[in-house]
Structures are given as C-alpha cells and as structure tokens.
A and B are shown apart, each in its own frame.
Chain A
C-alpha cells in the first residue's frame, strides 16, 4: 500500500501499477481504461508518493504478474544488476535529480541503460516536465548501423514513406524519387503495404532492392508486413534488409498482434543470417529490425492489464531492445483521440516515448502525426517536430506533402525535414549525406542544389517524356 497525506486529504494507492497510473499526466486513453487520477490533486498526490519509491522496489513488485506475462519475465530475467549498481540507492525522485545533474553524462547514461527497467523509466517520466524530457534525452546517444550510421550527434535521419493505396509500383516510385530529390530516406525506405500479402510484399521488396542497387543508395529497405509474412519472404530468398513488426508491452497485446518473443527471435536470426548490411571498418552493419509502437495500442487490444498507457508503452521498449533494432518508431498520433485527445497530449506523449526509449538504449524515432478525428493540426506537429529534434530525436517520417494517401493520416513531410535541418543545423547520416552531395542533390552546405535535375535520375525521368 502506498499512502500520503496532502492538502488535508489522505490518499491510498493499492499497488505500484495503480500508483503509476494515477501519477501519469492526463490523457484520454487512461480515462477510457478507468485507471486515471480522478482529480488534479489525486494525480499530484500520486506523483509525490511515486517520487519516494526506491528504484529497487521495481525489481520486486511486478506491474504485470511474472508467471503469466513473458514481457515481465524478459524485463526481470534480463535485468543487469551490475549496470544498476550506480543508481540502485536512488528513489524515483532522486533519479530525476540525478538524470538532470552533471553526473548523468552520455557515458554514464549509456552504462546504466541495461540496469534500467521500463517501469523505472516510466515512473521518472511521470514527474518530469517537457524541458526535463528534452534535456535528458539530448544527453543520450544511441548509434546503430545497417548500410548507414544512424544516431550520430547533430544528425537527424528520415524514413522515406512512399505509400500508395494499391501498391502501384510507379506510384510508389514517384514518391520515392520525390523524397530522394528532397534529401530524404537515410533511415529507411519503408513502405506500408496496402494488403499483407506475400506476393505484394515480395514485389515491393524486390523493387526496393533494385532501386537501392541501381542508384547505389546507402540506405535500407523495409516493407512493413507482418513478421510472419516477412519470414515467408526470407525463406523464399526474397531480399529482406529490415524485418518490421508492431510490438506492445504485454504478452496479451502481442498475442493480439499475432506475435511472441520466440517468433521475433526467429525472425531476428533469419535476418541476421542474410548479412545484407554494409561492411564497416569494424564489422558488418547488423542492426536489422524495425519496430513500431505507440501509446494506447495495448488498451485498443483490451490487453493493458490495468496499466496506464505510458507505462505499457515503455514496456514495449523492453521487447524492442532484446533484438538490437536499427530503428524504433513511436507512431504517436496515429491511434486517434480516444487515446491521445489533442495536440497537447500528442506532443507530450511523443517526447515521453523518445525519452523512455533513449534511456533504455533504443534508436528512437517519432512518427509525428495526427488523424483527422483528433483535435490537432499542422501547428501542433510543428511544435512536436521542433521539440523532438531539439531533444536529439533519431529520425522522423518523410511523407510527400505530409499526407499519407494510403494510411489516411498526416505525418511529417520532406519539407518539414528540411525545415528542422536548416533551423538546427542537423545533417543526414554521413553515408547518405555523401551520396546526396556526390549526386548534386545537396551542395556542400547540405542545401538543395537543384533546380537542375541531378544526372542520376535524368534517364528515368526522360523515359516519362
């Protein structure tokens, strides 16, 4: 039992799960789940209590039972006590102070990552303001490699997302070319297929492989089909760079996605064995998984197990880090207003997810996005984009004109990526940057050097007349 007395009232929280939920900043999904604080005062009371909880408590009190949830078992069994030692004496409140202090450097944060559990990180997140989330995340550095190097300091990568409602190859190619000519695509060229079908997935994978080879683009391809479809494709010898899967923070939610840890492990091993990454001076680029997450996904599958959605989300990162992904993407505003109601809730959630993922050692990107039934607009996206990039976000999406004509939502555009790179002086991944410059898409100051069409693409466009 967790209790406090505040403003002439006493507050009781039955367990850690309940305390975390009540301490979470307000959002519609937690009200929908019936786990949110019932007043401002109750929320602050929970935050006061939470601040006094020792981090060690999280190692003995599971928020979802160990016996029935493989994600809990992964978290508990995989906990690195040696990495935890440096902070094991702290409470949640002390941990916030420590993170903000000079003691928390890039090196120390990297060293403790394996000693942190998702619940510890979720807890401290709940008592941090936006500026705290930005300041601490900015100190984290997570570098991953496949054909390019993602996550270096003062770099921001983009996923080129050339979706088409019927996977028409020329339609997809038109968006790819548009994106490349605007300097996008160093994180991945990643297509959401219109239908999860082996034939369609194969056709898209072969096409992306051919485009990357023909134009010698130092990036990687991904078709965001279900992991079982991608496994079939790999078994048939189809070229697969990155294996994609949506993941969540409970076994039950992952069940509803049709996955479990063993299946992800099988896919990870299969992708590793293909060795399709580039050869670097010290080895091959072998981060070959791409995961997507988002607050509310467990609740939407009725599999949140009484947790608030931000804690659930952080637990998904425990699943992700097991497989050393190249990219993890929180698709923050995609799920809709029943989970994140408006621009304010979407912005905070995006920064929370980035902070939690980075502390846990993940290459966090954010699909800065909203749907047309949410109370949000382009101004909200500009605010999140700017704050996310200031926080050192690893990558964002690049969608033509911010309008995804297949998934029917709004994300960030190629223009948005150029905006944030110009304002903050951020560069693409070094290998991709060199490709852009060598092909006169960017000049040596990383500015668009068109209007002359780069020679590389003149023949392709000439064939269009």
Chain B
C-alpha cells in the first residue's frame, strides 16, 4: 500500500539554470525537506572551515615569480587569526617588521600605483584568483607607464592596510585585492578596492570604489578588469575616487545576458 507523500517538490527546478541561489527546494509541510536542510549544513561547514584555512604566502610569491611578477610579503599588526577577526583596527596597520621591509626598498623610486593582495576572510579566494587577475592587470598598468613597486602580499590584512602602503610610497593609486567573507555558495569570492590618494587614517569607505564577487559564478576577470580600468581612468580625470566617482563603465562589451523569462514571452 503506498504512503501519502510527505514532501512536495517545486515544479520550477528548470530555473536553477539561471542562478546559484537555492531556489525550488520543495517543502515538507512548509519547512525545508531533509535533503535541502543537510545540504545547507554541509555548505556552512565548508564555509566555516574556509575562514580558518591559512593562505600559503610563500607558494603565492613563488607562483607570481614564475609569471615574472615581483612581490613582497608583509604582515599586519593582527598576529593571529583570532586577533584578526576581533581587531579590525590592527588589520589596517603594518607590523613593525613590515614597515622595516618597506623602508628597505629603494626610497627614491617614484611611484604612481601600489597593488596589494590581502588574504582577508577567504584564503581560497586569493589562491584561486589573485595570480590570474594580476597577470591581466599588471601588463595593462605597465603599458600606461604606471610606476609600481613589487606587489605587496599582506597576511591578516584589512582593506585599509592599502592606505598605509600607499602612504609609504606616496602613491596616487591604491588597488587592494582581498578575500571576501566566504558565502555558502561562493567560499572563494575576491573583491577589489580602489582608492585615489589613499592616506592612512584619512581615507574612509566613502573614498573607495569596490568591485566585488569575482569568482567562477560571479564577475569574470575581464569584467572586473574592465570596471577597474574605467574607475582608474575616471579617478585620474576627476582627481578623486569613492562615492563621487560613479562606475558608469558601459557593460555592452561584456555580453551580459539580458533575457528575462518573466517578461519576454
């Protein structure tokens, strides 16, 4: 004798082709079916573990060197992961050792732009995306005659660590690649923060432009680069960045799909 069904599937599972969002999960009564409930727990466990996974900076530096990209390993004043999570102020400051490393560089070299890579909250974001993105970005900046020191790799760094580094070099442009907080569906999302005339203790979030969600289900490297170059050009023209610099990069060249089944039929 067949039992009555205890779960009701949703009939629009085909829409999952358009999004990684957890749609059409079905229901047991009005609640999540067991399968969907455990799927979520699995994703949460993976994301929690990703937060605690340290970035292998030596490997990253080696791998960048293989591409002909010089780098310098630095650390913030947050000396361990627990401190990093609870003391964002320390994550914005360079450790004394890092300050000495910077002072040891050629002090007379004029600098236009600094490029910084920080682990942030997702080491996998950086290990998956930083090298590939830098190998697109750096040749482009060099072609524009921007003078840059080695790429600074910062352990336990927050976004504003870039201000301290830009300050040191008196750089006009500050570009920070950072691991974003890991999501359940994208534990490896990278963000880019761009600041014009970044200065430690003076620059605020309103002075920055952010390009987020760089990962395989999000923004592609060329899309992110397109936006960043647009912002840089705009900042050079307006002599500022942040809220007053709007990202009006045309997206026509990016071939974004425009079809929408709710409206076009």
A binds B: yes
Determine how close the nearest CB of chain B comes to the CB of A245; give it in whole angstroms: 11
A135-156 interface mask toward B, CB cutoff 8 Å, 1 = contact, 0 = none? 0000000000000000000000
Once the chains bind, are A166 and B213 in contact (CB under 8 Å)? yes
Contact status of A403 and B204, CB under 8 A, knowing A181-B10, A408-B180: no
Residue A65 interfacial (CB < 8 Å): no
Kindly specify which of A115-123, A191-199, A317-325, A349-357 makes contact with the partner chain.
Answer: A191-199
Given A336-B181, A408-B189, A465-B14, A197:B218 Cβ within 8 A? no
Which residue in chain A gives the minimum CB-CB distance to B47? A372
Main secondary structure of the interface of B (DSSP, over half): loop
Interface string of A353-393 (1 = CB under 8 A from B): 00000000000000000011100011000000000000000
**Cβ-defined contact, A403 with B185, below 8 A:** yes
Assess whether A234 is interfacial by the CB under 8 Å rule.
Answer: no
Q: How far is the CA of A171 from the CA of B260 in the complex (A)?
A: 8
Q: Are A372 and B213 in contact (CB under 8 A)?
A: no
| Cβ of A425 under 8 Å from chain B | no
- The answer to whether B262 touches A177 (Cβ under 8 A) is yes
B227 in contact with A195 (CB, 8 Å):
yes
**CB of A59 closer than 8 Å to a CB of B:** no
When the two chains form their complex, are residues A448 and B30 in contact, meaning their CB atoms are under 8 A apart?
yes
Residues of A within 8 A of B40 (CB): 378, 401-403
Quick one: which of A32, A257, A373, A460 has the most chain B CB within 10 A? A373
User: Number of B interface residues, CB 8 Å?
Assistant: 75
Give, as a whole number of angstroms, the nearest-CB distance from A364 to chain B: 25
Residues of B within 8 A of A173 (CB): 18, 260-263
Q: Is the CB–CB distance between A401 and B21 below 8 Å? A: yes
Shortest A452–chain B CB gap in Å is 9
- Does A101 sit at the interface, judged by CB under 8 A? no
**Assuming the A-B contacts A171-B19, A258-B242, are A419 and B218 also in contact, with contact meaning beta carbons closer than 8 angstroms in the complex?**
no
Q: Tell me which residues across on chain A come within 8 A of B244, comparing CB atoms.
A: 258
Residue on B with the closest CB to A226? B243
From B53-61, B85-93, B111-119, B145-153, give the one contacting chain A.
Answer: B85-93
Q: Mark A249-281, 1 if CB is under 8 A from B, else 0.
A: 000000111100000000000000000000000
Q: Does B134 contact A (CB under 8 A)?
A: no
- Residue in A178, A336, A341, A462 whose beta carbon sits within 8 Å of that of B24 in the complex: A178
Inside 8 A of B1's CB, which chain A residues have their CB? none
Q: Which of A217-234 contact B (CB under 8 A)?
A: 226, 228-229, 232
Closest CB in chain A relative to B43 CB, distance in Å:
7
Q: Are B8 and A450 in contact (CB under 8 A)?
A: yes
Residues of B22-65 contacting chain A, CB below 8 A: 22-25, 27, 30-32, 36, 40-41, 43-44, 47-48, 50-51
Say which one of A67-75, A207-215, A284-292 lies at the interface with B. A207-215
Q: Residues of A contacting B262 with CB < 8 Å?
A: 173, 176-177, 211, 214, 460
Please tell me if the beta carbons of B23 and A178 are within 8 angstroms of each other in the complex: yes
Q: Is the CB of B22 within 8 A of A401?
A: yes
User: Chain B's nearest CB lies how many Å from the CB of A229?
Assistant: 7
- If the complex has contacts A402-B22, A415-B30, A448-B30, are A178 and B12 also in contact, measured as CB distance less than 8 A? yes
**B217 at interface, CB cutoff 8 A:** yes
Assuming A194-B219, A408-B181, is B48 touching A372 (CB within 8 A)? yes
B4 sits at the interface (CB 8 A): no
What's the Cα separation between A170 and B48 when bound, in Å? 30
For B184, list chain A residues within 8 Å (CB).
372, 403, 405, 408, 410
Residues of B227-265 contacting chain A, CB below 8 A: 227, 242-244, 246-251, 256-265
Residues of B within 8 A of A338 (CB): 85-88
| Complex interface: chain B residues within 8 A of A465 (CB) | 14
Closest to B204 in A: A256
Within the complex, what minimum Cβ distance (angstroms) separates B77 from chain A?
14
Give the Cβ gap from B210 to chain A, nearest Cβ, in Å.
8
Q: Is the C-beta of A105 less than 8 angstroms from some C-beta in chain B?
A: no
Chain A contact patch, size range: 35 or more
Contact at A196–B14, with CB atoms within 8 Å? no
Interface centre among A165, A301, A336 (most CB of B within 10 A): A165
Q: Is B20 an interface residue (CB 8 A)?
A: yes
Assess the A464–B181 pair: CB atoms within 8 A. no
Task: State whether A177 touches B47 (Cβ < 8 A).
Answer: no
Kindly state whether residue B212 has any CB partner on chain A within 8 Å. Answer: yes
The answer for the CA separation of A170 and B205 in the assembled complex, in Å, is 31
Q: Contacts A337-B85, A418-B30 hold; do A174 and B180 have CB atoms under 8 A apart? A: no
**Residues of chain A from 420 to 465 with CB closer than 8 A to chain B in the complex:** 422, 447-448, 450-451, 453, 459-465
Find the B residue at minimum CB distance from A203. B258
Identify which of B19, B47, B85, B264 contacts A175 (C-beta below 8 A).
B19
A residues less than 8 Å from B50 (CB atoms): 372
| Most chain B CB atoms below 10 A, which of A195, A214, A300, A301 | A195
Contact with B along A1-40 (1 / 0, CB 8 A): 0000000000000000000000000001000100000000
Q: Which residues of A contact B212 (CB under 8 A)?
A: 194-195
Q: Within the assembled complex, what's the spacing in Å between the Cα atoms of A461 and B11?
A: 9
1/0 contact string of A96-127 vs chain B (CB within 8 Å):
00000000000000000000000000000000
Report B-chain residues with C-beta under 8 Å of the C-beta of A196: 246-247
Q: Could you tell me if A174 and B15 are in contact, using CB atoms closer than 8 angstroms?
A: yes
A200–B251 contact, CB under 8 A?
A: yes
Q: How far is the CA of A436 from the CA of B224 in the complex (A)?
A: 40
**Smallest Cβ distance from A246 to chain B, in angstroms?**
10
Q: How far is the CA of A463 from the CA of B260 in the complex (A)?
A: 10
Give complex CA distance A168, B227 in Å.
17
Q: Are A373 and B213 interface neighbours, CB within 8 A?
A: no
Mark contacts of A180-196 with chain B using CB atoms, 8 A cut-off: 1 yes-contact digit, 0 otherwise. Answer: 01000000000000111
Contacts of B164 in A (CB 8 A): none
Name the contact of B12 in the complex, choosing from A211, A403, A422, A461 (C-beta under 8 A): A461
User: Which residues of chain B are near A348, meaning CB under 8 Å?
Assistant: none
Q: List 27 A-B contacts (CB under 8 A).
A: A32-B86, A163-B21, A164-B19, A170-B259, A170-B261, A171-B18, A171-B21, A173-B261, A174-B12, A177-B12, A199-B248, A214-B262, A226-B243, A257-B206, A400-B21, A401-B25, A403-B43, A405-B21, A409-B183, A410-B44, A419-B31, A451-B11, A460-B261, A461-B12, A461-B14, A463-B261, A463-B265
3 closest pairs, A vs B, by CB?
Answer: A401-B22, A408-B183, A258-B243
Chain B residues with CB under 8 Å of chain A are 8-12, 14-16, 18-25, 27, 30-32, 36, 40-41, 43-44, 47-48, 50-51, 85-89, 121, 180-186, 189, 204-206, 210-213, 215, 217-219, 223, 227, 242-244, 246-251, 256-265
